[in-house]
Amino acid sequence: MADVNVLEINDLNFESEVLKSSLPFLLDFGAVWCGPCKALAPIVDKLANELKGKARVGKLDVDDSPATAAKFGIRSVPTVLVFKDGKVASQLVGMTTKETLAKLLGL
């Protein structure tokens, strides 16, 4: 299944895509070398496809975008942050389920 609904977020587009989003935004902070991040990726992809139109979903590589990761104190990956109205509404560190991610979004 293509992850066309998952945006690639980086230091340059973070503010315009995430903070200014009119929909809740679930952002998955990860890294290519991280095993649990790879395990979480298909769960995030599936959720993105199911929530199209209700929420936005993106992934950010902490090695490629260290400024954004540092701004939110991301110390371990995977970390998922949910943004609502430009602010962090919830946070979860580590591997999780699609149901838990949906609950984080409040959907």
| Those residues with Cβ within 8 angstroms of residue 78's Cβ, 6 or more apart along the chain or in another chain | 28, 29, 30, 34, 36, 37, 40, 93, 94, 95
DSSP secondary structure letter of residue 16: I
Give yes or no for a contact between 31 and 77, defined as CB atoms under 8 angstroms apart. yes
Just list the catalytic residues: 34, 37
